[in-house]
């Protein structure tokens, strides 16, 4: 008898596993099938959505960002740097500065009659200058005027010993007897005048300028103020050349007799070397002198400001002058010629600083001739 066929257990087990595997694979759709189903589903959804009435989506309102306008700020305007000018230590004494000043505005007061004879009369006077009261002497011809005017500028004296009119008596008597009214200012710090500043002796120059401008205040009929001359000796000659540089056409002619230099550097060196006086010493010590400040001294020097519109010059100097160097007058003469100014120059051989005798007589004759040409007179 044939025995039935028996399948081994392990084979059954493998067989069942294969069957189960096949069933599982059939249930998993292929990728294509899955896509089709998804597409169909999407179409159905689309149709449904198209059929349904849906509210419109809200209108999106664009939010406009603000336009940022960039404003370029201007660069800050800085104030210009403050320029601090260096003060000019010479400003108050330069020729240009003194030309800009105002002069006059006061009145000449004629005081006591001091002297008279058949030809002349002499009076004390006072007048204002820079707030100071200045004393002086007026000498005039006897009789009716008006008379041409000469301002007589005295040389250096020790102020403690000076008497009003010193240094001008001889000239005043001669000129007044020949028809000229003369006034000799004592200047500040002399005689009965008030005390005041006088650096570089420019205070004296200001005093004479104020006197010149106040001539119209003299008693009526005394002075012919359109005809004015200067006369100056030594320091007074230096004062006179400065007045010439400042006064323009107000002065017609100037006599310079043994005069100090119109070059302030020369004058300062000379005075400091010989006398060391305070009216030069104080500014000299502060400013350092002409070697340290050549420009400042040049601007105070009348010799640098001569021109043809100014007064004619008559220069007189003794060749043996022991106080004021004779070459200074030669220098002034050459500079005046170069500037086109009317000028004459007389040397007095072997004559000292103060003329006497024949030299004085000749000098006065030449002065009268000069004033007759430049001012006129009797």
- Report the chain's mean pLDDT, rounded to a whole number: 84
Give the per-residue pLDDT at 45: 37
Domain ranges in the chain? 106-263+301-374
What order do you get walking across the sheet with 312-318 strand by strand? 109-116, 120-129, 132-141, 181-185, 147-153, 223-233, 253-257, 312-318, 343-348
302, 244 Cβ separation under 8 angstroms: yes
CA–CA separation, 347 and 318 (whole Å): 6
Question: Taking residues 214-218, what's their average pLDDT?
Answer: 99
CA–CA separation, 339 and 333 (whole Å): 10
Give the per-residue pLDDT at 197: 94
**Each residue of 105-118: pLDDT tens digit?**
999 999 999 999 99
**Residue 16: pLDDT band by 50, 70, 90 thresholds?**
very low
91, 199 Cβ separation under 8 angstroms: no
Give the per-residue pLDDT at 283: 79
Q: Is the pLDDT of residue 137 over 70?
A: yes
Question: Taking residues 272-295, what's their average pLDDT?
Answer: 82
Sign of dihedral through CA atoms 341, 346, 350, 356? negative
Q: Is the pLDDT of residue 94 over 60?
A: yes
Q: Is the pLDDT of residue 169 over 80?
A: yes
According to DSSP, residue 259 is labeled P
In a 3-state reduction of DSSP, which class is residue 129? strand
End-to-end CA distance of the chain: 203
| pTM as predicted | 0.78
Question: Taking residues 122-132, what's their average pLDDT?
Answer: 99
CA–CA separation, 363 and 258 (whole Å): 11
**Residue 87: pLDDT band by 50, 70, 90 thresholds?**
confident
**Each residue of 57-82: pLDDT tens digit?**
444 444 444 454 555 555 556 666 66
**Each residue of 172-205: pLDDT tens digit?**
999 999 999 999 999 999 999 999 999 999 999 9
Give the per-residue pLDDT at 76: 59
According to DSSP, residue 223 is labeled E
According to DSSP, residue 7 is labeled -
Q: Is the pLDDT of residue 259 over 60?
A: yes
Q: Which one is the CATH code of 106-263+301-374: 3.20.20.70, 3.40.50.1820, 3.20.20.210, 1.10.150.80?
A: 3.40.50.1820
């Amino acid at each position: 008898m044939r025995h039935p066929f028996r399948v081994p257990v392990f084979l059954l087990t493998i067989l069942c596993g294969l069957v189960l595997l096949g069933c599982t694979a059939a249930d998993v759709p292929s990728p294509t099938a899955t896509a089709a189903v998804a597409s169909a589903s999407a179409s159905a959804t689309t149709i449904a959505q198209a059929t349904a009435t849906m509210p419109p989506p809200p209108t999106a309102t664009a939010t406009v960002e603000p336009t940022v306008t960039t404003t370029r700020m201007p660069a800050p305007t800085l104030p210009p740097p403050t320029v601090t000018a260096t003060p000019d230590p010479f400003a108050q004494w330069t020729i240009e500065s003194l030309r800009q000043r105002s002069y006059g505005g006061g009145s000449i007061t004629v005081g006591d009659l001091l002297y008279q004879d058949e030809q002349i009369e002499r009076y004390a006077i006072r007048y204002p200058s820079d707030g100071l009261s200045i004393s002086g002497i007026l000498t005039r011809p006897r009789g009716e005027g008006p008379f041409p005017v000469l301002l007589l500028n005295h040389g250096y004296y020790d102020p403690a010993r000076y008497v009003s009119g010193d240094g001008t008596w001889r000239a005043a008597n001669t000129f007044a007897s020949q028809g000229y009214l003369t006034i000799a200012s004592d200047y500040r710090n002399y005689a009965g005048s008030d005390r005041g500043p006088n650096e570089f002796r420019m205070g004296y120059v200001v005093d004479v300028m104020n006197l010149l401008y106040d001539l119209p205040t003299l008693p009526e009929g005394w002075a012919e103020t359109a005809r004015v001359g200067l006369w100056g000796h030594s320091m007074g000659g230096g004062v006179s050349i400065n007045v010439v540089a400042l006064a323009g056409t107000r002065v017609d002619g100037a006599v310079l007799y043994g005069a100090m230099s119109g070059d302030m550097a020369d004058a300062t060196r000379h005075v400091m070397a010989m006398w060391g006086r305070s009216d030069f010493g104080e500014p000299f010590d502060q400013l350092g002198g002409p070697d340290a400040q050549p420009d400042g001294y040049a601007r105070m020097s009348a010799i640098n400001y001569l021109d043809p519109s100014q007064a004619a010059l008559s220069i007189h100097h003794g060749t043996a002058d022991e106080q004021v160097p004779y070459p200074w007058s030669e220098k002034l003469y050459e500079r005046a010629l170069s500037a086109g100014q009317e000028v004459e120059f007389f040397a007095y051989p072997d004559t000292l600083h103060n003329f006497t005798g024949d030299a004085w007589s000749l000098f006065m004759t030449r002065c009268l001739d000069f004033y007759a040409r430049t001012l006129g007179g009797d």
